[in-house]
A and B are shown apart, each in its own frame.
Chain A
Amino acid sequence: MIAVDGLTKSYGTATVVDGVSLTLPDAGVTSIIGPNGAGKSTLLSMVSRILGPDAGTASVDGVDVFSASGREVAKRLSVLRQDTHMTARITVRELVEFGRFPHSGGRLTPDCRASVTSALSYCDLDHLAHRGLHELSGGQRQRAFVAMVLAQDTRYVLLDEPLNNLDMAHATGVMRLLRRLADERDKSIVLVLHDINYASAHSDRIIAMRDGAVVADGAPAEVITPEALEDVYGMPFTVHRLGDDLVASYFR
């Protein structure tokens, strides 16, 4: 369980995340949605230790994120950032091997190599393993980073807008991969999403934020409703049921 208590971050007089308290489950897919500037990414960055909070605490399975050693936290919590740009010229396999750093300190054990190989094939990257990361398309690179997170082998995986700049085929591929990780490997996937319909189709739980606070929290059927979405985004929505999916329409 990830427990967040009273996390606050402000820049000058603007409070971006305002005393958010919530718990994230130890399994399933949890999506965080909300308009730009709602504090979704800031919240995730603080739990990821990339940003220091002004107030509040966060813990992962009882380990305090801000005071524990980096390595202890990194064995429990992995993070996939929005930006997949990389200055270092490394191959896909080398990138995935970095995922083992919290466990091995960079000295790969046979176990490490095995889990790197299995992460690569789980993300279907075997045939690209020795390609340079810079030679890959956006979708392939995103999968390479997912494989790195997989090799890190943590119970919790945080992803900040993993579908950014991906076309529909790649976006769906990444979402399916994450869903499979939650179902087959019992991981808890927490991701910030802009596309509410992806959130609706793949999540077990949706958390909606606005102005630095949580305004709706529940199963997709509870959050993907015209009333709730209008409250979050401040614009009219219609919600249709198509097969198993709830699809929100907001284009006109």
Chain B
Amino acid sequence: MSPHELTLEGTEAGKAPTRPGRSVGLVRRALPSTRTARVIASLSVLVVASLTVFLTWGVDGHWDYALPRRAEQAIALIVVGAAIAVSTVVFQTLTHNRILTPSIMGFDALYTLFATTLVFFLGANSVETMDPWIMFSSTTVLLLAGATTLYRWMIGDGSRGLYTLVLMGVIAGTLFGSIQSFMVRIMDPNEYDSLLDQLLPSFGALETDVLALAAVVMIAGVAVAFRFARTLDVLGLGRERAITLGVDYRRAVTWLLMLVAVLVAVATALVGPVTFLGLLVANLAYQVTRMHRHVITLTASILVAAVALVLGQALLQHVLHFNATLGSIINLVGGVYFIVLILKESRA
């Protein structure tokens, strides 16, 4: 029997061969790419629309005052959104898990611990008056150093596997969390009040030059992610297949985890921890693109993140009149979406 006959059993029997294979191929092949183009185009239109709404809603003639301030805020939102989106997509590809975010590696916990330690030892006053440059760069460097040490130590000779790494990250996160809650317990209540301000993500006042630095780092990081896009496609097939297709697995994973660390550090140092944003935008991006190509999913996730944050902030300012924070809205929407995802995964 030739292999050809093998297909003539079961449900596949004779269905496709009734039409010539090549023309079916052409028709079906054209579909996904035009669909993808349409999705990316619609998302771009949505980004422009939300930016327009955000920049012009209720300006009442004070253009020269409102516009620069709002533009700066919009840039901050996009920098944070892009960094979180790209880091989450990369992290989820590496771990083959769509409900993980880099925060599981203890990033948020490390940031929280750092902020608490500062207030604890230096006092709320000196922290609040600290130069934002110093604050931003020291936070970024600390998060990076923490992640680097942790990863280098955990990856070791590469034989322990990525899940061990993730689990050790969870344990490290719990440790940071415990130390932090111990400090909070013996802290002056007034200082704790001021600490809370820092621990909730806020897109309020940002220093221009800090923002510029963050933007540069974010653009560089996203560029690296796009350079790795094709390798990421192969990594999505799993470790063993990636190796047999010629990916130097350990090197690629180490570099990509460092990239994730840089992007998360920038976003967290800029606005504080935004746990669920990445989960939300990455999964929405997969859902609308239905693609495995990272060039597409990365682009889509950045656009989705920009829409979510810019539109969210506009609604927060004009509909809710600042009666909530963007962070709490993200966590509410993200949390609900997370539960939906888990329910869907458990049924699949």
Contacts and interface: CB of A to CB of B under 8 A. Distances in A.
Q: Do A and B bind each other?
A: yes
Query: What are the 6 closest A-B residue pairs judged by CB atoms, nearest first?
Result: A74-B246, A106-B230, A127-B16, A79-B244, A102-B246, A71-B246
Interface string A139-181: 1100100000000100000000000000001101110110000
Contacts of B17: 127
B125 interface: no
B2 A176 contact: yes
Nearest to B294: A106
Interface string B113-144: 00000000000000000000000000000000
A236 interface: no
B6 to A, nearest CB: 4
A213 interface: no
Contact of B292 (A49, A94, A152): A94
Interface stretch (B22-30, B102-110, B147-155, B325-333): B22-30
A137 B244 contact: no
Contacts of A88: 236-237, 292
A139 B244 contact: no
A48 B234 contact: no
B3 A173 contact: yes
Contact of A101 (B10, B159, B234): B234
Given A69-B248, A98-B234, A89 B243 contact: no
Contacts, number: 113
A235 interface: no
A128 B245 contact: no
Interface in A87-128: 87-90, 94, 98-99, 101-102, 105-107, 123-124, 126-128
Most buried by B among A52, A129, A130, A137: A130
A66 to B, nearest CB: 12
A152 B238 CA distance: 17
B243 A49 contact: yes
Interface in A50-100: 50, 52, 69-75, 77-79, 81, 83, 86-90, 94, 98-99
Nearest to B295: A106
A89 B290 contact: yes
Given A87-B96, A89-B290, A48 B3 contact: no
B189 interface: no
Interface of B: 1-7, 9-10, 12, 16-17, 21-22, 24-25, 28-29, 96, 157-159, 229-231, 233-234, 236-241, 243-249, 290, 292
B292 A89 contact: yes
Residues of A in contact with B, size category: 35 or more
B191 to A, nearest CB: 47
Contacts of A124: 2-4, 6-7
Nearest to B17: A127
A69 B243 CA distance: 11
Contacts of A137: 10, 12
18 contacts: A50-B243, A52-B159, A72-B246, A75-B246, A79-B240, A83-B240, A88-B236, A98-B233, A98-B234, A98-B241, A127-B17, A130-B24, A140-B12, A152-B245, A173-B1, A173-B3, A174-B3, A177-B3
Given A50-B243, A74-B244, A128-B12, A172 B1 contact: yes
Contact of B231 (A50, A87, A106, A169): A106
Given A123-B3, A143-B3, A70 B248 contact: yes
Contacts of A105: 230
Contact of A74 (B2, B237, B240, B245): B245
A124 B7 CA distance: 9
Contact of A176 (B3, B12, B28, B229): B3
A81 B241 contact: yes
A132 to B, nearest CB: 11
A176 B17 CA distance: 23
Contacts of B243: 48-50, 70
B245 A98 contact: yes
Given A49-B244, A74-B244, A101-B234, 15 more contacts: A48-B240, A71-B246, A79-B244, A98-B241, A102-B245, A105-B230, A106-B230, A124-B2, A126-B25, A127-B16, A127-B17, A127-B21, A139-B6, A176-B2, A176-B3
